[in-house]
Amino acid sequence: MHSIYKLVLGSIGTAVLVVGFSAGAWGQIPTPPVAPFANLNALTRIKGSVVCVGCSLEEVEKAHAAAGHLYELDNSQGKNKAVLRVDWVDDAARWESISMGHHLWVRAAAPVWQQLTAEENLFKKVEITGLLSSTRTLDVGQVTIIE
């Protein structure tokens, strides 16, 4: 009987210790983001036109070279910048919440970036399809010249 008493008392003591230590560990769990899955990429279609290549958004605004919703695109290699006038986005609310700074990082294969920034395509209507991340990164998968 005495050994059963020790076994039960030891089990209860162990359970109390485990619960006590795990509660302290639970207090260190970071709080979840406000919107679940907010960092996931979403397929986005953008229609507009490239108004300048190799210049910044500030330069275009100073020169009054284009009107409308302008965004500076900077490719991940840092070799080139482009300014895009956006006329339409398929998910305008998400686009506005992510692109508030009017500056987007763009990752694209070299041929896709070249097609987007080619001199012969300046001011032509284009449709860009890609994944837009909440980190203001646009992974461009396809560029279609509409005109």
Q: Return per-residue pLDDT of the chain as tens, 147 residues.
A: 667 766 556 667 565 555 555 555 445 444 444 445 555 567 899 999 999 999 999 998 888 877 789 999 998 665 689 999 999 999 888 898 888 889 999 999 999 999 999 999 999 999 999 999 988 999 999 999 997
Where is 134: in which H helix or E strand? Answer: none
Do 80 and 109 sit in the same domain of this protein?
A: yes
**Cβ(113)–Cβ(106) below 8 Å:** yes
Residue 51, in any domain of the structure: yes
**Cβ(114)–Cβ(106) below 8 Å:** no
Rounded to the nearest 5°, which phi and psi values hold at 108?
-155, 150
Residue 88, in any domain of the structure: yes
pLDDT value of residue 143? 96
What tokens does 49 get? Answer: 């036109």
d(CA 54, CA 56): 7
Between strands 81-89 and 69-75, the pairing is antiparallel
| Closest C-alpha among 105, 48, 110 to residue 74 | 105
SS3 118: coil
Residue 35, in any domain of the structure: no
Do 69 and 137 sit in the same domain of this protein?
A: yes
Do 140 and 107 sit in the same domain of this protein?
A: yes
| Closest C-alpha among 128, 116, 81, 80 to residue 102 | 81
pLDDT value of residue 68? 84
pLDDT value of residue 98? 87
Domain count, the chain: 2
pLDDT value of residue 5? 61
Do 69 and 25 sit in the same domain of this protein?
A: no
Residue 100 structural domain: 42-145
Do 118 and 55 sit in the same domain of this protein?
A: yes
pLDDT value of residue 32? 46
Do 11 and 46 sit in the same domain of this protein?
A: no
Do 87 and 25 sit in the same domain of this protein?
A: no
Residue 37, in any domain of the structure: no
Do 9 and 57 sit in the same domain of this protein?
A: no
Residue 94, in any domain of the structure: yes
Do 57 and 111 sit in the same domain of this protein?
A: yes
Do 19 and 61 sit in the same domain of this protein?
A: no
d(CA 123, CA 60): 13
pLDDT value of residue 31? 44
pLDDT value of residue 41? 64
Q: How far is CA 71 from CA 10, 38, 83, 98, 125, in A?
A: 67, 22, 6, 12, 15
Do 92 and 114 sit in the same domain of this protein?
A: yes
